[in-house]
């Protein structure tokens, strides 16, 4: 039973990076709607991928898909992820003038 679980965990990481690369390929090839749908799936893989990167890409895909409501829901990923590196936190703080 533990062998099956460890195999599933290895495949989970492979799935995460597969969806990450697929979302980028879709966005760069002009399929913004497909990239947004794929990016929404990436939220299930926060334990494998950096959450800040996921939500940043999600906001970018939502912007190019013209789903501005979804884009505004994402907001600055630094707010949700307090363990962000200092350079990213400062960049978000500098862009956030509504304090």
Residue 94 is predicted with a pLDDT of 43
Residue 28 is predicted with a pLDDT of 97
Q: Which two tokens stand for residue 97?
A: 């003038």
* pLDDT classification of 97: cutoffs 50, 70, 90: very low
Number of domains in the chain: 1
Q: Domain residues for 26? A: 2-95
pLDDT digits (tens, 9 = 90+) for 2-55: 566 665 677 899 999 999 999 999 999 999 999 999 999 999 999 999 999 999
Query: What is the Cα gyration radius of the chain?
Result: 15
Q: What is the C-alpha to C-alpha distance for residues 46 and 49, in angstroms, rounded to an integer?
A: 5
Residue 7 is predicted with a pLDDT of 59
pLDDT digits (tens, 9 = 90+) for 82-93: 555 555 544 454
Q: Which two tokens stand for residue 71?
A: 């884009």
């Amino acid at each position: 039973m533990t062998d099956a679980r460890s195999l599933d965990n290895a495949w989970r990481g492979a799935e995460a990076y597969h969806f990450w690369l697929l979302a980028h390929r879709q966005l760069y090839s002009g399929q913004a709607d497909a990239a947004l749908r794929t990016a929404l799936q990436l939220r299930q893989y926060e334990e494998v991928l950096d959450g800040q990167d996921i939500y940043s890409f999600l906001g970018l895909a939502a912007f190019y898909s013209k789903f501005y409501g979804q884009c505004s829901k994402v907001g600055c990923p630094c707010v949700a992820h307090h363990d962000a590196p200092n350079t990213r936190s400062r960049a978000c703080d500098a862009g956030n003038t509504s304090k």
